[in-house]
Amino acid sequence: MSYRYDIRLSGSGGQGLILMGIILAEAIGIYDGKCVAQTQSYGPEARGGSSKAEVVVSNAEIDYPKALKLDLLLAMNQKSCDDYYMDLKPDGILIVDSTFVKQLPTQRAYQIPFTRIAREKLKREMVANIVALGAISKLAPIVSSKAIEAAVLARVPKGTEKLNRDALKAGVMAAKKVKKVSFPSAPAEFEDEDT
């Protein structure tokens, strides 16, 4: 039986969402060996404006490449959280950057201050997206942390490997500490392939 897992990474231009989408798709598609389709929409601004990247995952050929109902939504700012919350499935996972998202539409959300962690612990705000990827690998059943690490290191500029590895770790740690939310368990297929 084929399944479909729809992810949306959203926020504003300059937060590195499209790169995140590429890394996530590469981790799931190339390193974890599933079918993926990654799309994005963005405005003319290189910085600011709305930006989103979507990743659709399946064990079979993907027909419609954009996200339908979301299994996972990452909101890196308040506007994207407000705009896209309604697209989540009832059991979909919401992860927000609590540096910017102050008003939550639901209590069933993982709140992690990705940008603050990047700024304070790693001294580089620009790795907030990598911190978030670390947290996703821990919180979502769709990608292995090994694959995420391999994909991150393959895409980031030479010389920044340590910074990015630290950012991933910081994300994983933050996800371990975050207040747990109860969700219905994921379909069995994911667990089989992820172990």
Partner 1 sequence: MNLRKKVRKKELLLQGNEAAVEGALRAGCSFFAGYPITPATEISEILSVRLPQLDGTFIQMEDEIASLGAVIGASLAGAKAMTATSGPGFSLMQENLGFAIIAEVPCVIVNAMRGGPSTGLPTMPSQSDVMQARWGTHGDHPIIALCPSTIRECYDLTIKAFNYSEKYRIPVVLLIDEVVAHMREKITIYEDEEVEIFNRVKPTVPPEWYIPFEDTPKGVPAMANFGDGYRYHVTGLTHDIRGFPTSRPDEIDPFIRRLFRKVSQNFSDVQIGESYETDDADITIIAYGCVARSARRAAADGRENGLKVGVLKMNTIWPFMRSQVEKVLRTSKVVIVPEMNMGQISREVKRVNKGDTKIFTINKVDGTIITPQEILNRIKEVC
Which parts of the chain fold into alpha helices (H)?
A: 17-26, 78-84, 114-120, 128-139, 145-155, 161-177, 188-194
Q: Determine which residue in the list 14, 41, 91, 161 makes contact with partner 1, applying CB under 8 A.
A: 41
Which of 144, 146, 143, 114 shows the shortest CA–CA distance to 131? Answer: 114
Could you say which residues in the range 49-68 bind partner 1, by CB under 8 A? 62-66, 68
Is the Cβ of residue 21 or residue 113 nearer to partner 1 in the bound state? 21
Which residues, including other chains, have CB under 8 Å from residue 95's CB and lie 6 or more apart?
72, 73, 74, 75, 109, 110, 112, 132, 135, 136, 139
Nearer residue to partner 1 within complex by CB, 26 or 97:
26
- Supply the minimum distance, in Å, between the C-beta of residue 184 and partner 1: 22
The answer to whether residue 12 forms part of the interface with partner 1 (CB under 8 A) is no
Q: How far is the CB of 26 from partner 1 (least distance, A)?
A: 5
Adjacent-strand bridge partners of 89: none
State which residue, 106 or 195, has the beta carbon closest to partner 1.
Answer: 195
Task: By CB under 8 A, name the one of 91, 146, 161, 176 that touches partner 1.
Answer: 146
For residues 7 and 71, is the Cβ–Cβ distance under 8 A?
A: yes
| Contact residues: partner 1, CB under 8 A | 21-22, 25-26, 29-33, 35-44, 62-66, 68, 144, 146-147, 150
